[in-house]
Each structure stands twice: as C-alpha cells, then as structure tokens.
Structure 1
C-alpha cells in the first residue's frame, strides 16, 4: 500500500487500533486477476478463509467468479453476499452442517472417499458438482510456512494416491492445494507430481482447482508463465472445461494497513518496551502461531527495521494481560514517544478473519480509504460486540 498516498488521510485524527483499507489498491489487484482470467482462460475464486470482509464483496464480485468456503458459515456468507459460484471444502462434514451446505454450494469437494460415499447421493440430488481433494505429497512450502504446509507428512488434507480406493462415481472435479504465498515455479513442480500420481483420473473430469497460495498480484510474479501453464494443461486434457485458482492473499495483498498507538514506554533491565493498544492474541494471531517456527511471522512496521538496523531498539508489547503478548523487537531511527502512531504494513489477509476479543481487548475500527484520499469510518466496535461475543 502506498504510504505516501496513505499519509494524506490525516492519520493523526484516526482512532487506534484500526485497519485502513484502500479501495484503489483493491481495484488494482482485481484488475490484475481479471486480466489473468482472460488470458489464461481460468476462473479465480476468493478464498474467504483469508479475507471475509464482505462489505467489499460488491467490488470483488465484479471481477472474480465466486468464493471458496471451508464450511457452513463461509458457504452461507458467500452465497448471500457474493452470489456467484460457491466451492465448499472441509476436512470433514457433519450430517447437520452438510444438510445446510446443500442450500448454498455450487461445488463440494470431499476430503476422503468415505465422505464422498456418505454424502454423494444428497449432493447429486441437488445437482451440485462434486470433487475430491487429492494430496500430491509434494511439499514446497519451505521453512517459512511449515505450520501451514498442507502436504507435510501425515497431513489430514487431501487423499493420497495410496488411499484413493473405492467407488468414485459421480465426481466431476479434482482439487489440490500445496502453495503458500508463492510464485509459479513451485506450482509447476506440484502440478507435475500431481499428474504423475493422478493422470488416470484427470482424464475423466471436467474441472480442476489448483488451490490457493498463488502470489499472482505480486510485482515479481510471472503471470505470463502461469497463463501458459494453464493453457497447456487444458490442451493436454481437453475434457477439462474449467481450471480454478483460489488465492486469498493475492486478492487483498498490499490493500490495508493497521495503525496502532504507543501507550507507554517502560524498561526492564536494558530493554526498552513500548506498550501499544493492540494485542497479538486478539488482532495478529499469526504472530503467536508462528513464534516457534524457524522463520516466524513478524509484521513489517513502516519506517522501522529489525533490531540493530537503527539506533533505538524496542520490544513492542500488546495491551492484554498475557505475558506472551509481544509483537516483536524492532529498531527505529528516533526514540518512540507516548501517543505515537505506528503503521503495520500489508495486514488485510489472515488478520481480520482471526479477530478475537480475548481479555476484553476491543476490536479494531475499520476505515475505508477512498480514491479521493479521505477515510470513511465503516465499523466502530465496542462493548456491545464484546458482550455479544461471549454468549
């Protein structure tokens, strides 16, 4: 997100913590995705698990074909607010949820042969397109995304070739997912492995989903190669009418920032600690989830650097009572002060969908940044949301 354009919004007047979403940046991403769809002859879906902020669906659905959902609630949200194709996949469905999902889904992807056999009659009766999620057993996520690797050993996600046994009648599509914020080269590797294991099934389907994790709107993404790959795949398998991609981050990458404020500055030994008005457990959960990974997620703060890059080092802490409520350690060119606002960059995906109100910490406000450089308040949560969240 262009910080120069963002600075025109009058940051000092915004109440923190808050998210600021740039409508212009979102349109840029959507235009890129629409161009890829046209060139490659594919269909792109919004992965709601990454971004479910439905007030923007009106704009997104002008460009994308639909949404993918990970269960009943996301399926209903996609049906009601997006209104195009709704692809549903989950590690498993309960009888109760599946009965409701049938009202909203256009495509259902099963994670096991047993689930396929259990729910196939009901899905086919509703004329819903059904598919299987297959596991290519080819891990490309790397150290940075180890916790999110769907093809890791003993993964519960997708049917391996050795377990693809039983009555598979009724399926019209296949699905695989292996990427995590990556370019086209890992996709080529995974697709080659997928074909080697499952080419005999690919011959008999009419649609396939290449999953998510495609960083299509990144400046260095090779979109030309992606288009060529999809075209060649469809030519090789003429029975396949549709190839789907379901990115989440690529839809909203670089479209939002999070502004927080320094409330206090304290010392413990030689460490300077800046206490802020956010909380990693309530607002930036991936910081906690990846803390013990080899490459943990630490949000980028505009104007700051890693420890030692600049003169003044600070440990940034949150407002909750959890001892581990620490965003990370940063350095700054000038000393921090109480009331100072800090801007966390690229915060739209996998943040807003994971909000909690742990410890009574308030949810962030949400502002829309229009093309005129002005911010509009669209959500101002408070006690009512906290109390409703409890029961």
Structure 2
C-alpha cells in the first residue's frame, strides 16, 4: 500500500511482508527507510521524530500494531482487547499533543469491542483489525486530496482581482506528514495543479527545520515555484509581497477553533491579521478534538534544549545557557479565517455545531 506513484512516500507497507517508514531526520540528503516490526519501534520512530505530522503519527501507530501482533498468541478475545488497549496508550503517550493517534486509537478499541460481540475467534479478529487499519490509511490519502481542493477553491474565491496567488506555509504538512499529498501543502499542490499558484513561500521552521529540510524538498520535487524564508522574515514578506493566504496544518483543533500547531504558527497568525492576509488551518476532521473546549486545555510538548543549542550535532550557543523549547503553540480561533477539512471550509464559530453533526452521523 502506497500513495500515488508520483508522490513522495512516507510509508511503505505490504500486508504480511513489510512495514517501513522514511527516516525524516535524514531528509533531504538521504532517503533511508526504517523497518517497523513492533509497537516499540513505532513509538521510538514517533518520539524521535523520524516520523512526524499528526495524520502520519496515527497511520504509523496503527500500522505498527498490525506488524506487532503478527505471530503473537492470545488466550482469548478479552486478552486480545487488553493487548490493543495497552499498545494504543503507548502510542498516544509517544507525542501527546497530536490528537489523531488518540482519536484513531480510541476508534480502533471501540471497533475491536464491537467485533468481539460478533466473534471471539482470534484469527478472525486479527484479520478484521488489519482490514480496518488498511482502510484508515487509504482514506487518509482521499481525505488529503479533498482538503487540498476545498482550500484551493476558497483561496481562489477570496483572492482579489481573481488572478494567481502567492501563499505562505509553515512546517511540513505534505506527503511526508501524511500517507500522501498532504494537508496544508495539499492545498498548495491543488492551487498549482489548477494553474492558480504564482509562488509558494515556506518558512525554515526552527528549531527542527521541517520547512527547510522537508517542505522545500517536497516543493522542489513537485517543481512548484517556491522560496524558502527565515522564520523571522515573515513580517517583512507580507509587507513586501502580496500574500493571498497563510496555510498551516494542525496537531489539534479545540472545539472553539483554537489550534495547536508547530511553534511559530501563532506569530504567523498575528502577522497575517496585521496585514489583512487570510489565515487557514488545513487538517482532517480527525484532528478536531470535540472533547477539548479551548486551547487552554491543550498540553504543549517541550523538547530537548539541544534542538536549539546544536545544529548537526555541533553547538552554536554558549554552554550552560537556559533554553525553553516548546514544540507547539496555540493560535486563537479569532485569528483563523477558516479550518479546511475534507468536509469543506469551516469558520471557527461554526465548528462546535459541525462537530456535533459529524459525531451524530459517524459515531
């Protein structure tokens, strides 16, 4: 199972044979895939950021359960359910800010409970779990393409004079953050494919440089006209160039529309507001957490000081300097023009109603 042949592949999976993830710490200079044979492997790949991006974390987590349970014996269906619950929690704990793993893991647990009512045959239960997870990965790619089209169409509709547009994106939200195509970068791809993109700007996204390492790589791979800018240059960019929209991804969207995303997103939203630039969050509906009322309740992961003090393993700061390294920030809903999902573009004030409608139809 893989994405379209022309897209970069963040995962390689063949049932019963292999599951590999692209080690994104080595991109763009090396393309090395790591074998994932156990949930412990999946947790390590997520925690060390060999894989990152909320949708991809969920895909990798669930597929690691598929490979981990292969060949394992379970006493009974209750034992199998307990195993699934333990593995899901370990994967959620790997990077708690991103909500997709929690949502899909909870759905998987509920699915197993439903299936146990129908059969207690372990072989059959394993097969049904595998099919459920494989369908999840397939749906993710279809979801990304829908997000891309909805976002592109809204940006085009709002563009003044109706010409081609310049856009700015942050971090990496493309094929390397999902099963393929991408969320915010999927919107950029859709604009390009529609012939409506003049230029895409991407931030370097310090301190982990996902923009300079990964997004710039994807843009060049797709031959999309693009320019890399320093994080600290975005204010002057919006002052100097006509930017139609800022498009970012999300690791969690609260019920009120507050959005947790890569550190630096909040300041982009403030700058966009100051310059009258539309600000979009592009994410699958699974990233929206209806149980979190606002951004105040979102746990913000803090990472190692060495990500700030070192580049390529070499120190760039005086030894002993104090470091604060939050991996994410929260953008208030009032700064967001629209949340782009596979179901369309949702204004933040309409989000709570849409969550209830979605849950009534799908849960």
- Give the TM-score normalised by structure 1: 0.27
Higher share in helix: 2
Structure number with greater Rg is: 1
Of Structure 1 and Structure 2, the greater strand share is in: 1
Which gives a bigger RCO, structure 1 or 2 (Cα 8 Å, sep 6+)? 1
